[in-house]
Structure 1
Amino acid sequence: MGRYVLRRLLQLVPVFIGTTFLIYWLVWSLPGDPFAGKCGDRPCPDAYIAVMRERFHLDEPLVVQYGRYLWNLLQGDFGETFRGLEVGELISNAYPNTIRLAVVALLIEAVIGLAAGVLTGLRGRGFLDNLTLVSTLFLISLPVFVTGFALQIFFGFELGWIKTTVAKSPAPWEQLIAPGFVLGSLSMAYVTRLTRTSIAENKHADFVRTAVAKGLPQRRVVGVHLLRNSAIPVVTFLGTDLGALMGGAIVTEGIFDIKGIGNLVFDGIIGKDGLIVTGVVTLLVLVYLLSNLLVDLLYAVLDPRIRYD
């Protein structure tokens, strides 16, 4: 197992370099002047633009710029914005809110999705199964901002059960339940359908019939044998979904006024501040890579037939 983990970590290095270079190239090779609008309604003086381009090394070849950025990144330096603010400090202030929101969304989609999927997969076709399929299809069809505004208006303004905005930082856990449900609603529908299909397929497998023939209680048959073997595709989806939840939280954070990296990326795009966008996306790449590694290790825990020698 140790050699496998070491090998996978070494494999992540070229993937990280390749993806971050692609991100850097896409951000900094876009046409347009990054200093447009920095001087108000009037265009910036040529001397100011020359000084800023030299300060941020924009007059160097793109490969040299990326090499300098990667070297600083390995030392924990994400650079600074055109306004002179440290990108690392901005990320450290916004990241806890987004990771909390993503964790709440992941827990909601895992608990509700797994429970609904197991229940409908065991019962088979019927009223509950049809209701679950219709409900999940409804959630899949709705855009996230529609779900967010609907919950905000009904449970916030009409009933007063939830806070319509989460202005505090770090955001309290209890105030992130509604935004977490909105953020994880689409994935929750997919987890429910994926679990339902996997349970329905494996409940007639030989290992389940053998466990029933041994006289094991149904709770153990479902919880130990059936669920563990059916959870591999679900765990794969949940593991890769963590990065997607963090990267796709721009709309949810905007609706509930959460000061997270979604808002940070949006401000960076509007302000044409490429270092903010590059830094946040680089962080998301790391989350994706590490979550994929964790999912691979969980395979051996769920299925004893899988061994990494």
Structure 2
Amino acid sequence: MGRYVLRRLLQLIPVFFGTTFLIYYLVWAVPGDPFAGKCGDRRCPDSYIQFMTEKYHLDDPIWMQYGTYMKNLLQGDFGQNFSGRDISDILITAYPNTLKLALVALAIEALIGLTAGVLTGLRRNGFLDNLVLVSTLFLIALPTFVTGFVLQYLFGVQWKIINPTVSNSPTFAELLVPGFVLGSISMAYIARLARTSIAENRRADYVRTAIAKGLPQRRVVGVHLLRNSLIPVVTYLGTDLGALMGGAIITEGIFGINGIGRTVYRSIVTKEGAVVVSIVVVLVLVYLLMNLLVDLLYAALDPRIRYE
């Protein structure tokens, strides 16, 4: 196990540098004046543009800019935006809210989606199975912003169960409805994925053997069937955390959440490339670490999987 983890960590190094360089190149290769609008309606003076260009090394070749950025990043310095504010302060303010939102969405989609998938996988073609299939298809077809606006109006305006917008430092309870909105589509996919996996593994030889031995239904399902059927679901959940964090722009905008989604949007509009790169770099780390964690969970779910 130790050798496998070390090997995987070493593999993450070139992946990390390759993806971050590609992101850095794509962000800074976008045409346009990064200082447009920084001086109000009038054009910024040439002296200001020259000063800012030299300060942020924008006149250096792209590979040299990336090298300088990564050197500072490895020392814990994310740099500053064009207003002189430390990007690390922006990340500290925005990332915890988005992480809370993504974790709530992940928990909701795992709990509801997996439960629905297991129940329908064990009893296919019944009323519950048809109900889940229709409901999940409806959620998949419904855009996230429609789900968000409908739930915000019903729970926040019509029934006044929640506040239409959350606070600056929201609790997990405040994020239940936004989390459901964010994870609704993934929840539908997980329910369908778990249903298919359960139905397929239910006909496997090891399940038939467990039933023939006279094992209780709870043990057959919980130990033998569910553990093997969870592998594709765990794979989906592991990669979905980063996707939820990166795709929370609409949900954060509807419920007024001060997270990385709104921060990225504002940074793109104002051409704050350094902020966009820093946020995406942290998302890359989340993706890489979650993939490593998923791979390590495989052996716990399926004893047939060995790493050495």
Whether 2:138 is the aligned partner of 1:148: answer: no
2:213 aligned residue: 214
Aligned length: 308
Deviation for aligned residue 1:167: 2.1
- How far, CA to CA, are the matches of 1:121 and 1:264 in structure 2? 41
1:50 aligned residue: 50
Aligned AA for 2:192?
R
1:261-298 C-alpha deviation (Å, 9 max, x unpaired): 11111111111100110000000000000000000000
Deviation for aligned residue 1:164: 1.0
Residue 181 of structure 1: SS of its match in structure 2? helix
1:231-262 C-alpha deviation (Å, 9 max, x unpaired): 00000000000000000011101100011111
1:248 aligned residue: 247
1:196-246 C-alpha deviation (Å, 9 max, x unpaired): 000011111111111111111111110111000100000000000000000
1:257 aligned residue: 256
2:87 aligned residue: 87
- How far, CA to CA, are the matches of 2:63 and 2:282 in structure 1? 20
2:293 aligned residue: 294
- How far, CA to CA, are the matches of 2:87 and 2:262 in structure 1? 14
Deviation for aligned residue 1:156: 1.3
Aligned AA for 1:284?
L
Deviation for aligned residue 1:162: 1.8
- How far, CA to CA, are the matches of 1:28 and 1:258 in structure 2? 27
Write the mapping of 1:185-204 to structure 2, written as runs, cut at 5 A.
185-204=184-203
Aligned AA for 1:131?
L
Write the mapping of 1:84-233 to structure 2, written as runs, cut at 5 A.
84-169=84-169, 171-233=170-232
Residue 174 of structure 1: SS of its match in structure 2? coil
1:25 aligned residue: 25
Hey, which bits of structure 1, 4+ residues long, moved more than 6 A? Answer: none
- How far, CA to CA, are the matches of 2:174 and 2:163 in structure 1? 7
TM-score by length of 1: 0.99
- How far, CA to CA, are the matches of 2:209 and 2:162 in structure 1? 48
Deviation for aligned residue 1:168: 2.7
Aligned AA for 2:80?
E
Residue 240 of structure 2: SS of its match in structure 1? helix
1:18-58 C-alpha deviation (Å, 9 max, x unpaired): 00000000011111100011111110111110000000000
Residue 184 of structure 2: SS of its match in structure 1? helix
- How far, CA to CA, are the matches of 1:264 and 1:6 in structure 2? 35
- How far, CA to CA, are the matches of 1:30 and 1:120 in structure 2? 48
- How far, CA to CA, are the matches of 1:148 and 1:194 in structure 2? 24
- How far, CA to CA, are the matches of 1:279 and 1:200 in structure 2? 43
Whether 2:307 is the aligned partner of 1:308: answer: yes
Could you tell me which runs of 5 or more consecutive residues in structure 1 were left unpaired when the two chains were aligned. none
Write the mapping of 1:250-289 to structure 2, written as runs, cut at 5 A.
250-289=249-288
- How far, CA to CA, are the matches of 1:175 and 1:200 in structure 2? 36
Deviation for aligned residue 1:91: 0.2
Whether 2:36 is the aligned partner of 1:36: answer: yes
Residue 173 of structure 1: SS of its match in structure 2? coil
1:72-126 C-alpha deviation (Å, 9 max, x unpaired): 1111111100000000111011111111000000000000000000000001112
Query: Percent identity at matched positions?
Result: 70
RMSD: 0.6
